[in-house]
Structure 1
Amino acid sequence: MQKSFQKATIITINHFEMKLYKLSLTATALAFAVAVNAQSTFKSSLPVKPGKGVTVAGTVECDGKPVAGVTVSDGYEVTKTDKKGAYYLKSKKQNPQVFITTPSGYEAVREDVMPQFWADFTMPADKYERLDFCLKKTDNKKHAVIFLADIHLANERNDVDIFSGPYVDRIKEEVSKLKAAGIPAYTINLGDGSWDLYWYAHQYSINDLRGTLNEADYPTAFFNVMGNHDNDGATPAGEGADFRASLPYQKTFGPRYYSHNIGDVHYVFLDNIDYINDTLENPSYPGITGRRNYKENFTQDQLDWLRKDLAGVSYDTPVVVSMHCPLLRWKKNDGSAYRLKPEETSSRELLSILKPYKNVHTFSGHSHRQCIVRMPEEEQNLADHNISGACGSWWRTRATALKNLCPDGTPAGYELFTVDGSDLKWEHKAFEYPEDRQFYAWDMNGVKDYFANNREMRAFLKNYPKWTDYSDVPENYIYVNLWAWDPEGTLKITENGKELPVEIVTEENPLYTVSYMVRNTIWLNQVENKGYQKPRKFQLFRAKASTPDAPVEISWTDFFGNETKSTLDRPAPFTLEAL
């Protein structure tokens, strides 16, 4: 249903040259004002014959020939191309664009990092227009997906140079190896590629992210979902704020929800951010008018669309659903129970829609932590993957000459998802560590000594007394921070050939305390920061050794049987060089 917004403020962003218009507009017309150029500019010579009431039609072709059976949608209506490659929609143009679901064995053509799978409307809702699409053939039955999350580029702390330099170089190395094996690669970014708070102050908005990717010669097609920080914080609060705040994103990266087929897998992309942006009386950041607050939920419109999208997808087809906020979270850090993370009603409806499918994986970011939650098989065949942030802790540990570290201690990295037909595998890879490293391990006697004698640490604990003082830890403990723990994997800690009992604890990561908390409080004279008073506790593993000086063997075997081993020689001092 179209809704009218009285005296709406439209902001068109082009390197922050803003033009303001005071108008009374429908949501559709508001979208046109911002999104005026179609992403796909392909013009086909194949014929179309739109009937009465059709407002958008076009063709999908490959090498000049029509491609039949391609799904086409405006986010509300869903249709397929006929044997002549033509589609017809009686669209009300409630979203700014029409998009295709690429069929298996094809890719949408692209001239830069973004595949041209959508085209922006340029005519009013009651006027007919033609929008065409072009595909190219590719053998993608075997393929790989690089999942990124929370890049958070904001033109600060050298973030753009680090990401587009060494981080993209690491991804290029990964893609080069895949290409040598004949495996095409794709990237899915799980939201928060930008940081709404700094769009105007630092002159880096969501459209600059696309420019950064192109300038870095990013090596794969780049699919995106929308995060809370990818909304325009200059959007006035009120009815339709979520839609209006998303328009710069939609202009840059296309629809907020859509799907593609790659090989034998059906990939779905959803938006579970409802951006509210309540008005601030005294805004403190240039251009930002609201609190940038939001709710986590799936709109009914996209869930209704998803039912239509999946209507022709076999229950045997693996389904991968990407979103920004995680769908599930452990109730306890031992993985024994789970809870729904976003708003429960819409999350349960999503689970209900996905329940008939035999192999479902959901991927998300937002939390800047690494976590996999498996639903019990008797309930549903679904695994929820929450991916660590590519920015670590907002680039702050990297800015002080250390490596990027997330709040749970996981190094900044990405998830490599490899597919061979319906066989799916995944592994976490850190940007700044060798591929075969999967954990940190500490001799807690060394940590105990550091916390007892380091002057900056003592100052931090005096000002933030709720944080754990590891100088009180009992003697001879070994702590392990597994970067990608899976309840189906096996961790072993061995001393002198004897396997030690391992327990899961929920505590602060000592490396995070030293590298992030001390440097962002004591170094910056933030001795009364209320946001830091509550300790950040995450999953760690520990075992008690019998001696203070015997070496300890640590072995982690993941769900797929891949084993990573390391020897911790003791006594081992705790230093930041351990990063």
Structure 2
Amino acid sequence: MLSRKLLTTLAVLLAGTAMAHAKDATYVGSVETISGDAGGKARGTVFLDANRNSRLDNGESGIEGVMVSNGREVVLTGADGKYELPAYDDMNLFVTKPAGHATPVDKDMIPQFNYIHKVAGSPDLRFGGIKPTGPLPAQINFPLIADGSGSSFDCLIFGDVQAYTNRELGYVRETVGKMLANRDNQKTECLIYAGDVAGDDLSLYPRIKAIGAVGRVPQYWVGGNHDLDFDAKSDADSFDTFRTEWGPEYYSFDIGNVHFVTLDNVRYPCNGVDPHPFCSPDKKSTYNGVISDRQLEWLANDLANVPQDKLIVISAHIPFQTFTDNTAAKHQTDNFDKLAALLEGRPALGLSGHTHTTENILPGEDYEGWEKNTKVPSAPFHQIVTGAVSGSWWAGDVNDDGVPRSTQRLGSPRGYYQIAFDGSDYVDTYLKFGGEENEQMHASFNSPRFRDWAKDLLAYVDLYGAPSDVLPPVTVNDLFDQNMLTRADLQGGTWVAVNVWNGSKESKVSISINGSEPIAAKRTQDGTGEAKRSGVEYADPLALAQQSTNGSMAFKSAKNGEATDGFNTWTGVEWRGVPGPLQSWMLTKNSQHLWRADLPADLPAGVHTLTAQTTDRYGRTFDHTITFEVVEQMPQMTWQKDLWD
């Protein structure tokens, strides 16, 4: 007869094999707590849960060398899987999931790897915060299973879902949910939401989780400035509902040869704490981008147990550095220099959200304002601002799927990142919702006609704002046909603007007319410390046209009146009146990933093809072909009524 210990060992091995061949065998469970006197210490065991019941049973083995933390100190479990840590009144006790293992998840694929300890609970908060936990349990045990995952896998990164309403959550279902349901997720080990998972209304969290769970992949959340308890009076309580609904504000986990770290760089309220005018004690409560000293202490202790050659993927909501808000302190990380010092000499990748833009920032890249606002003059490691599921905050007219187009601020369509890892190497790809992997750019024409039109549009927005009841001087219709160029357009200077959504300073871009010799394109930003180049000459014509006219602003119905007139975004901000543009700061007047190539002035009249091509930093080449016309002068673009008179 086989001994109990041998049966346990066989069960563990079989469980690992099963998970390697059947990813859908989800391990649902929880952290185990055993009541009793903790004696002022956090204690417990990290163990292999052979029977998957989330309980440390006789014969189940502890796991040696697993990191456990109280949010400050980090210890490794002993040979028996046991750990002991100092206890604090308000702390997250969590395990760093080791590679080759999985933590339990709940029904919504939220990893169960932590215990919240807040004796008296939260103050009275709108969304509940944390209920009183009472005294620390005598033991807090963390179950794991062997999951059979290797060093080759991928993760999907979602920036700023930021749904404020149940209507907008329907858009999330039709984008994230639809994509996950139709995708092969066998090699996908994590979904990372780069903050602003919700849009202020934290009661929407359960529905957000259920939509993401469709993919049957563990969901890892980052706290954003719209995931806060805004009625909290101190930063210590500001993420309490987030902690209850998801887990720690900062934590780490391992997959393959990658060490994932999530940080909370949203201080709220910053008033009276951070030395910025917007954080003044006499101003309305607001947030600031900064990493707390406690987190930096924890991260130093965490990294002390991570090999130097292991890739560090570090996620936060507010960018460490950003082109979009390059001169703004609030929208970058104040003390990025301290984080950069901790990561110096290590392979690292930074992920963030917040700006609703895609930005692929390579080491050495620099823009005006970075040194002043982040204390780091140029990018010390690769950083990706991951765009937004919501695009421009779910604003604008709907596409064929009934979801707002919401072209993002630097011109990219709504989408998400796929990062394929192989050991410590990785390849990042941006994918638009409903698109294919080979769709990586769009191209349009910056002509004298476009520039005159854009000047009128931008002057109107600057004068009246948006939305406005003042009739705009131009709409998208006044561009007539963007892909029809007159002889005057060519002679007055027309160039092709190629927006490579995930383009970087190492991207090569060219255009070819009718299959002729390629013409090299030049990036509109150099990334060598210069100021942002903005205005009609640096605009993305296609994106600006899409953002210029939103017919849904004028929608009215007799049945529901104001409840359905126009459209709402953010916290009920109403977009009503005449069909007009998005607000000025949402318009693509500049971009970090826009290239320009001049068109020959002597192109003959007729229909032509234009192929834009980009080769990325990994050597992958992508093409995008459009047709356009050259005419001697613009024909009548409306019904030729005179032919019928």
Give the TM bin, normalised by the shorter chain: 0.7 to 0.9
Match of 1:362 in 2: 350
Contact 2:289 2:333 in 1 (8 A): no
Alignment match of 1:408 (pick from 390, 407, 410):
410
Match of 2:253 in 1: 260
Give structure 1 stretches of 5+ with no counterpart.
Answer: 1-38, 280-289, 575-579
TM-score between both structures, scaled by the size of structure 2: 0.69
Alignment match of 2:624 (pick from 548, 555, 566):
566
Distance 1:245 1:150 in 2: 19
Instruction: Say whether 1:498 aligns with 2:517.
Output: yes
Amino acid at match of 1:391: S
Q: After TM superposition, give the deviation of residue 188 of structure 1 in Å.
A: 0.7
After superposition, the C-alpha distances for 1:65-91 in whole angstroms (9 at most, x for unaligned) are 211111111101211211111111221
Distance 1:460 1:521 in 2: 18
Amino acid at match of 1:260: F
Amino acid at match of 2:44: A
Instruction: Say whether 1:514 aligns with 2:519.
Output: no
SS of equivalent residue, structure 1 residue 367: coil
SS of equivalent residue, structure 2 residue 32: coil
Amino acid at match of 2:539: E
Contact 1:263 1:421 in 2 (8 A): yes
Q: After TM superposition, give the deviation of residue 563 of structure 1 in Å.
A: 1.0
Instruction: Say whether 1:62 aligns with 2:63.
Output: no
Q: After TM superposition, give the deviation of residue 101 of structure 1 in Å.
A: 0.1
Instruction: Say whether 1:346 aligns with 2:324.
Output: no
Match of 1:543 in 2: 597
298-307 or 107-116: which moved more? 107-116
Match of 1:426 in 2: 428
How many residues of Structure 1 are paired with residues of Structure 2 in the alignment? 496
SS of equivalent residue, structure 2 residue 417: strand
Distance 2:229 2:338 in 1: 28
Contact 1:393 1:407 in 2 (8 A): yes
Distance 1:195 1:339 in 2: 22
Instruction: Say whether 1:242 aligns with 2:235.
Output: yes
Indicate the structure with greater strand content. 1
Distance 1:105 1:84 in 2: 19
Amino acid at match of 1:545: L
Q: After TM superposition, give the deviation of residue 464 of structure 1 in Å.
A: 2.4
Contact 2:70 2:86 in 1 (8 A): no
Q: After TM superposition, give the deviation of residue 119 of structure 1 in Å.
A: 1.9
Distance 1:362 1:274 in 2: 19
Instruction: Say whether 1:382 aligns with 2:381.
Output: yes
Match of 1:309 in 2: 302
399-408 or 478-487: which moved more? 399-408
Q: After TM superposition, give the deviation of residue 116 of structure 1 in Å.
A: 0.8
1:35-434 superposed matches below 5 A = 41-43=30-32, 53-63=40-50, 64-95=60-91, 97-112=92-107, 113-121=109-117, 127-138=136-147, 139-155=149-165, 158-174=167-183, 176=184, 178-179=185-186, 183-196=187-200, 198-199=201-202, 204-214=203-213, 217-235=214-232, 237=233, 241-276=234-269, 291=284, 293-330=286-323, 346-357=335-346, 359-376=347-364, 382-397=381-396, 399=398, 403-434=405-436
Give structure 2 stretches of 5+ with no counterpart.
Answer: 1-27, 51-59, 120-132, 273-282, 366-376, 466-472, 480-487, 525-533, 555-575, 635-645
Distance 2:328 2:450 in 1: 38
Q: After TM superposition, give the deviation of residue 356 of structure 1 in Å.
A: 2.6
Distance 2:103 2:247 in 1: 13
Match of 2:277 in 1: none
Structure-2 change in CA distance of 1:556 and 1:459 (3 Å): closer
Contact 1:142 1:184 in 2 (8 A): no
After superposition, the C-alpha distances for 1:421-462 in whole angstroms (9 at most, x for unaligned) are 1221111111132221111111445x937975xxxx898556
Q: CA RMSD in A?
A: 3.8
Structure-2 change in CA distance of 1:568 and 1:263 (3 Å): same
Structure-2 change in CA distance of 1:122 and 1:329 (3 Å): closer
Contact 1:77 1:91 in 2 (8 A): no
Choose 1 or 2 for highest CA Rg: 2
Structure-2 change in CA distance of 1:68 and 1:330 (3 Å): same
Contact 1:277 1:291 in 2 (8 A): no
Contact 2:550 2:581 in 1 (8 A): no
Distance 2:518 2:421 in 1: 35
Distance 1:530 1:552 in 2: 29
Q: Give the fraction of aligned pairs with identical amino acids, expressed as a percent.
A: 21
Q: After TM superposition, give the deviation of residue 60 of structure 1 in Å.
A: 3.0
After superposition, the C-alpha distances for 1:343-399 in whole angstroms (9 at most, x for unaligned) are 665210000000031x11000111111111122399886101111101111111354
TM-score between both structures, scaled by the size of structure 1: 0.76
